[in-house]
Amino acid sequence: MSDRVLVTGGAGYVGSAVVEALLAAGHRVTVFDNLSTGHRSALVGLDVEVIRGDLGDRSGLETALGRAHADAVIHVAGSIQAGESMKDPGKYYRENVVNSINLLDAIVSRGIQRFIFSSSAAVYGDPVRIPIEEDDPVAPVNTYGETKLAIERAATWYGRAHGIQSIFLRYFNAAGATERVGEGHQPETHVIPLILRVALGQAESVSVYGNDYPTPDGTVIRDYVHVADLAQAHVQALAATERDTADEASARSRAFNLGSGTGFSVRQVVDTCRQVTGHPIPSVDAPRRPGDPAILVASPRRAMDGLGWQPIHADLRSIVASAWAWHACHPNGYDS
């Protein structure tokens, strides 16, 4: 079935990949983005309307939902830097939580009952076991994760009050690129593009934050998931909200981990980037960043069983190779 979908943050890294996947699946898409970190050029050539607006503008949101004739909303927009969130928590509560409440209110006002939210593995904090399952305790150790959890909880209560069906997609580490979509963040904080900048000659070395974690090589371990696989999960989540009935309380709010199920340390990622690029890529040890758990690795079993999701680009080398191909062609990001 073809749906009309409003994607917030649809000009961003993950958002533009989601838009591309939705269009390929036959859906009609409208993007709502303030373009503060997104790039209109990421959507060039796609059959999509882009509405420039801010999530803090409730009336603008309702107008956009009306123009889109939206059947569902996929909410990708938000501030995403864990380190920054520890220094400026107010920004994260305003831009993530308050703005998401505005969006939920607009959804209720327009009578929309399908909501898919880009959440994060940061909701788990320091996990009680590895791999992490969705029913494990949630105890964020940074403001970013706390705001993601707050939005999940708010949407759950909105579901009970208004019949909204919500799916929360808890991303682990989004990485990689497609031919048209890559990481063009300013400033960049994700590890793979930071490493690749050294190979491009744009930095002398890459900083490794913390070398004394309780891991085999002392650096943090993360689960990397290709952006195209993340995007496909949103398409399958959209289909799942169509299948579910509004009177099933258990179906109104569900969380799914999106990860490969395999973890790699920062040193392993640096080594893989060296192999892919053929560049020595010097690294420099730096102090830990506040709010960084030692290990975050997903159990993706629920997404596989419940959504029919299967990560296609599951090995680190192919993820790094796809990112390198994009950055080599776009050395200055979307301004290239």
Of residues 248 and 129, more confidence is placed in 129
- The string of pLDDT tens digits covering residues 87-101 is 999 999 999 999 999
Residue 60 has pLDDT above 90, yes or no: yes
Residues of the chain with CATH 3.90.25.10: 191-222+261-335
- The string of pLDDT tens digits covering residues 158-170 is 999 999 999 999 9
For residue 246, the model assigns a pLDDT of: 45
Q: Kindly report the three-state secondary structure assignment for every residue of the chain.
A: CCCEEEEECCCCHHHHHHHHHHHHCCCEEEEEECCCCCCHHHHCCCCCEEEECCCCCHHHHHHHHHHHCCCEEEECCCCCCHHHHHHCHHHHHHHHHHHHHHHHHHHHHHCCCEEEEEEEHHHHCCCCCCCECCCCCCCCCCHHHHHHHHHHHHHHHHHHHHCCEEEEEEECEEECCCCCCCCCCCCCCCHHHHHHHHHCCCCCCEEEECCCCCCCCCCCEECEEEHHHHHHHHHHHHHHHHHCCCCCHHHCEEEEEECCCCCEEHHHHHHHHHHHHCCCCCEEEECCCCCCCCEECECCHHHHHHHCCCCCCCCHHHHHHHHHHHHHHCCCHHHC
Q: Assign 189 a pLDDT band (cuts: 50, 70, 90).
A: confident
> What mean pLDDT comes out for the span 193-211?
97
Amino acid at 244: D
Residue 38 has pLDDT above 80, yes or no: yes
Q: Assign 256 a pLDDT band (cuts: 50, 70, 90).
A: very high
- The string of pLDDT tens digits covering residues 286-326 is 999 887 889 999 999 999 999 999 999 989 999 999 999 99
Catalytic residue at 209?
no
Residues of the chain with CATH 3.40.50.720: 4-175+225-258
For residue 143, the model assigns a pLDDT of: 96
* Average pLDDT score, the chain: 94
User: 4-175+225-258 in CATH: which number?
Assistant: 3.40.50.720
- The string of pLDDT tens digits covering residues 286-295 is 999 887 889 9
Residue 249 has pLDDT above 60, yes or no: no
pTM: 0.94
Residue 53 has pLDDT above 90, yes or no: yes
For residue 85, the model assigns a pLDDT of: 94
> What mean pLDDT comes out for the span 127-152?
96
Q: Assign 248 a pLDDT band (cuts: 50, 70, 90).
A: low
Lowest mean pLDDT among 50-54, 188-192, 214-218: 188-192
Catalytic site residue from 13, 92, 124, 144: 144
Instruction: Measure the CA–CA gap between 281 and 202, rounded to whole angstroms.
Output: 11
> What mean pLDDT comes out for the span 69-76?
98
For residue 186, the model assigns a pLDDT of: 78
For residue 314, the model assigns a pLDDT of: 82
| Percentage of the chain lying above the pLDDT 90 cut | 89
For residue 294, the model assigns a pLDDT of: 92
> What mean pLDDT comes out for the span 244-250?
49
Peptide bond into 187 cis (omega under 30): yes
User: 191-222+261-335 in CATH: which number?
Assistant: 3.90.25.10
Nearest to 152 by CA among 136, 173, 167: 167
Which long-range CB contacts under 8 A does 277-284 form with residues at least 24 apart? 277/196, 277/199, 277/324, 279/198, 279/199, 281/195, 281/198, 281/199, 281/205, 281/206, 282/198, 282/204, 282/205, 282/206, 283/205, 283/206, 283/207, 283/208, 284/205, 284/206, 284/207, 284/208
